Amino acid sequence: LAQTPGWKVYCAEDPVAREVCGAAENAVGYGWSREMDFSAEIVEMKPDHTDFIVWQKDERLGEATLGIPGRHNVSNALAAIALATRLGVPFENIRHALKSFRGARRRFEIRHGGARFTVVDDYGHH
């Protein structure tokens, strides 16, 4: 990592990533604990999105909506938020991008949502 002069964004929830990256110059850790550089607090999970609060250390950056569901997706979004913030992207622009994000094509793509059943295309890989 010493040869990499740029930002090193890592999941500080992972003990190995924390050990490897934690003390590196320009390291930015994210996760669920407010002790981390960036963290999130989930407000509400719905079948098609997740609402959460974003923190940069003790500073509340604001609420955000991720256009896809799931705690793991919020964790991935935190990595993007951390990097974008460090690069100077205003939080309002980040919020807008997250809300409009619908995920990768054919990954948990809802094809039909009805009263009796929902059809989900989750091709992924084989």
Q: Which tens digits make up the pLDDT trace of 25-53?
A: 899 999 999 999 999 999 999 988 999 99
State both tokens at 59: 């500073």
State both tokens at 9: 């964004």
pLDDT of residue 104: 67
Is residue 24 in a domain?
yes
Our count of domains for the chain comes to: 1
State both tokens at 66: 């991720």
pLDDT value at 90 more than 70 = yes
CA dihedral 89→90→92→95, nearest 10 degrees, is: 30
DSSP annotation string for 83-117:
HHHHTT--HHHHHHHHHH---STTSSEEEEE-SS-
Structural domain range at position 74: 8-121
pLDDT of residue 1: 72
Is residue 63 in a domain?
yes
Is residue 126 in a domain?
no
Is residue 33 in a domain?
yes
pTM: 0.82
**Which whole number is the average pLDDT over 105-125?**
76
Residue 109 corresponds to which amino acid? E
Q: What tens digit of pLDDT does each residue of 46-86 get?
A: 988 999 999 999 999 999 999 988 899 999 999 999 999 99
Is residue 19 in a domain?
yes
Question: Cβ distance 82 to 28 under 8 Å?
Answer: yes
What's the CATH number where 58 sits? 3.40.1190.10
State both tokens at 125: 């890989």
**3-state SS class at 126:** coil
